[in-house]
Amino acid sequence: MARSRIVRPEFWSDEKISSLSFLARLIYIGMWNFSDDFGVVKGSPVWLKSQIFPYDKIQTPLIIRTLNELQTLGRIISFSSNGEQFFYLPYFRRHQVINRPSKTRNPEPPPDILDRLNEHSMSTQRALNDETE
């Protein structure tokens, strides 16, 4: 079930986001609408196309290339669970505030993905602290 999401003004001026193609930015925002409240969305390119662009004649290979673009920039992380593909949106909580999260409808990303993100976040925070001290 799609959810209403907010696109904050900072999204448009984010330098990393601006390096994405126009289509990648639209797909990224569309993935927010169809992800659960924990930033996990089904990873089938055909399914994503049907949800985000139901009336547009966009070919699946273009959707796949665009998803690869988002993965290369680290905006989405692919994982599988029970033979099904999913994407985890690691910056989802940066863009969305969820006051009353619903029950998860997708699997949680594997612990190694979350551990890597936590380590990266901690090292980034340490670097910022070092710069300010």
Query: What is the secondary structure of 16-66 as a DSSP string?
Result: HHHTS-HHHHHHHHHHHHHS-TTSEEE--HHHHHHHH-TTS---HHHHHHH
pLDDT of 76 reads 93
Average pLDDT value for the chain: 78
Greater pLDDT, 36 or 95: 36
Please tell me the predicted confidence (pLDDT) of residue 50. 95
Vertex 13: Cα angle to 41 and 11 (nearest 5): 25
Q: Residue range 90-102: average pLDDT?
A: 65
**CA gyration radius for the chain?**
15
Q: Is the pLDDT of residue 97 over 80?
A: no
Closest C-alpha among 80, 90, 96 to residue 117: 90
pTM of the model: 0.74
